[in-house]
Amino acid sequence: MEKVSTEKRIYVERFKDRIVIITGGGTGIGKACAKAFASEGGTVIIAGRREEPLMKTVKEIKDNGGKADYIGTDISKSKDVQNLIDKVVYEYGRLDVHVANASIHILSPIEETSDKDVDRLIDINVKGSYYQLRQAVRQMLKQGYGSIVAISSMSGMVGHKNVSLYCASKAAIINMVRAVSYDVSDKNIRVNAVCPGTIGDEGMLIQLAKQFPDQEEFYRNEISKIPMGRTGTTEEVARVALFLASDEASFTNGSCYLCDGGMTAVR
């Protein structure tokens, strides 16, 4: 029987000369994705509403020898999403990869969730994701190929206390990806999703912790739910996104990859 190599595999420039859009690319998972795609040769255009983190991320990428730029975008507005992709195509001639990452979370029990909360979260997480997939597909149909990766969540597959609205929005993204992938599966366009679990260096866990008087106890309790015994990192999520966007995942379409340390496996 052939011995399986445990040597770490190094990927070099899987995205050389490829044009990559990442929304919400100034912070968290989006920033990790931007740095990861750029480190493998991609020309990365990050988008978001706040200019300062976008500028900071672009500078970090360029300081490390990567190629990056940013475009201010509110993904909850269809015209902004169209403008983002139109600008990128005008400048670079095509769109090879689109990472639909931008989203928000609102923490409250359902009885305290306001209509304003519902409108804001659905506008960004659901409508914003749909606008991105729709516009990216329109461009990729013109050029005859492309790869789309949406960032959903483990919370789209299981329920969590006091985040029903967020859970609903992330579940919508999962089925959106499945349905859109079916629409374009014979058009040389792949659409997949990453479903992160508890990420230690990302905002939602920190926000949840603030609701508890003993935050250390909260963190210990959350980690105890994860079979691997630790939280994940934004970089680990980014690596899954890179795989799904790459040619190595050429027969992967309509998939929702969990990156949760085995948490949903035991629920």
In the chain, % of residues over pLDDT 90? 79
Query: Structure pTM?
Result: 0.92
Residue 219: active-site member: no
Domain ranges across the chain:
19-197+233-252, 199-231
**Average predicted confidence (pLDDT) for the chain:** 92
Residues 5-60 have pLDDT tens digits of 444 545 578 999 999 999 999 999 999 999 999 999 999 999 999 999 999 999 99
CATH class of the region 19-197+233-252 = alpha beta
How far is residue 200 from each of residues 197, 203, 261, measured CA to CA in Å? 10, 8, 12
Mean pLDDT per 10-residue segment, the chain (267 residues): 43 89 96 98 97 98 97 98 98 98 91 96 98 98 98 93 93 98 97 93 68 75 88 95 97 96 88
- The span from the CA of 141 to the CA of 120, in Å, is 30
- Per DSSP, helices labelled H in the chain are 28-39, 51-63, 78-92, 115-121, 128-143, 164-184, 203-209, 215-224, 234-245
Catalytic pick among 130, 166, 219, 257: 166
Instruction: Assign 184 to helix, strand or coil.
Output: helix
Q: What is the DSSP string of 196-251?
A: E--BTTSHHHHHHHTTSS-HHHHHHHHHHTSTTSS-B-HHHHHHHHHHHHSGGGTT
Pair 177, 157: CB distance under 8 Å: no
